[in-house]
Amino acid sequence: MIGVAVVGAGHWGPHLIRNFHDRSTSEVRVVVDLSEHRRGEVSARYPEIITTDDLASALDLPGVDAVVVATPTSTHHRVARAALQRGKHVFVEKPLATSVSDAEQLCELAAQAGVTLMVGHVFVYNSAVRKAKEFISSSDFGGVYYIAMTRTNLGPIRTDVNAAWDLAAHDISIVNWWLDAEARSAAALGSSWINPGLEDAVFATLRYPSDVLVNLHASWLNPRKERSITVVGERKMLVVDDMNLSEPLRVYDKGVTDDRVVPGYEETFVSFRASIREGDISIPRVALAEPLKAECEHFVDCIREGKQPLTGGRDGLAVIRALEAIDRSVKNGGAEEPILR
């Protein structure tokens, strides 16, 4: 039984407590939160769980093997570092930290301690996203041309990171996993209307190997909640719509081919003609499952079996590299910025 300390019982914390407190492979032994009200809510629902506002005392409790960090992004590094320095396995909600240097330090600490460090890029554990990877990776799909990703909603508005760090972090983690690659550069524009210095909407384009372009629209200042991804391939295309619970994935047997004249004929405007191929639209069966549950189970399995997480510390670091490049581009008026390694 893996004993867990959950740090942070605010917006996302209760969902993590519920999933880790299954009492079959893991149980939550202590919850840390600065709010007396939130601690009271945890105690009312789970009277057997210890609650405290003191992180150090929670880390020193007997039977705490792993620490789950669900605090504001600006505190991720500090809390995770304290847990890793005590030899605890650590699960950190995305993003891993707020800088490449801090994320690198966490990865190094985990390696030195020989413990699991995992980042909560939950959409990598989404059934439709995982099914989409099967299609994208198949030879029938062909090479990927570009990917367009939209993640918008009206709130919640953060006060410590901008919309790219809060929202686009999900999409970057998805694409990195789909393509098994990191972006090489980023060009982005954004603006702040609510809190000065924190962009409420960001429009970014990432350039991946093989000249794959990924366009991101991240905003918490939008009237409609949208989580959609369009992937355009050489021979097929697909759309992931996370808001469509009954049909989250559609695959389009569509593409563009070209017809060329027989060599030797005079080159005219008809010597090259784009030919649109209209094929069937299929709706693959996607098993309904809670991504967060799958993610939490994976963390426990990695601890028990000593295997590397699908969204480990280095994967989280790759996402932060891209986010830092997006920030640099926004500050430089949209100039294409290299992603440094």
Give the whole-angstrom CA distance, residue 101 versus residue 278: 48
Give the whole-angstrom CA distance, residue 76 versus residue 91: 10
Euclidean distance between the first and the last CA atom of the chain, given in angstroms as a whole number: 38
- pLDDT of 178-202, one tens digit each? 999 999 999 999 999 999 999 999 9
Amino acid 295: pLDDT: 98
How large is the average pLDDT for residues 28-51? 98
Give the whole-angstrom CA distance, residue 50 versus residue 52: 7
pLDDT at 65 over 80: yes
Q: Which two tokens stand for residue 285?
A: 């069966």
Spatial contact of 154 and 221, defined as CB atoms under 8 Å apart: yes
Closest to 33 measured CA to CA, from 22, 126, 46: 46
| pLDDT band with cut points at 50, 70 and 90 for residue 35 | very high
| pLDDT band with cut points at 50, 70 and 90 for residue 267 | low
Amino acid 259: pLDDT: 57
Please tell me what DSSP assigns to residue 72.
Answer: -
Query: pTM (2 decimals)?
Result: 0.93
Give the whole-angstrom CA distance, residue 156 versus residue 127: 25
pLDDT at 263 over 70: no
More confident residue, 258 or 106: 106
| pLDDT band with cut points at 50, 70 and 90 for residue 255 | confident
How large is the average pLDDT for residues 156-180? 97
What is the chain's length? 341
Bond preceding residue 156 cis, omega within 30 of 0: yes
DSSP 78-128: HHHHHHHHTT-EEEEESSS-SSHHHHHHHHHHHHHHT--EEEE-GGGG-HH
| Distance from chain centroid for Cα 130 | 13
Instruction: Calculate what percentage of the chain has a pLDDT beyond 90.
Output: 90
Spatial contact of 241 and 228, defined as CB atoms under 8 Å apart: yes
| pLDDT band with cut points at 50, 70 and 90 for residue 109 | very high
Give the whole-angstrom CA distance, residue 112 versus residue 333: 40
pLDDT at 274 over 70: no
Amino acid 309: pLDDT: 98
pLDDT at 64 over 90: yes
Whole-Å CA distances, 244 to 1, 4, 123, 247: 36, 33, 15, 6
Q: Which domains does the chain have, with CATH numbers?
A: 2-122+292-311 (3.40.50.720), 124-289+321-338 (3.30.360.10)
Please tell me what DSSP assigns to residue 261.
Answer: P
Spatial contact of 9 and 38, defined as CB atoms under 8 Å apart: yes
| pLDDT band with cut points at 50, 70 and 90 for residue 276 | confident
Q: To which residue do tokens 């709010």 refer?
A: 35
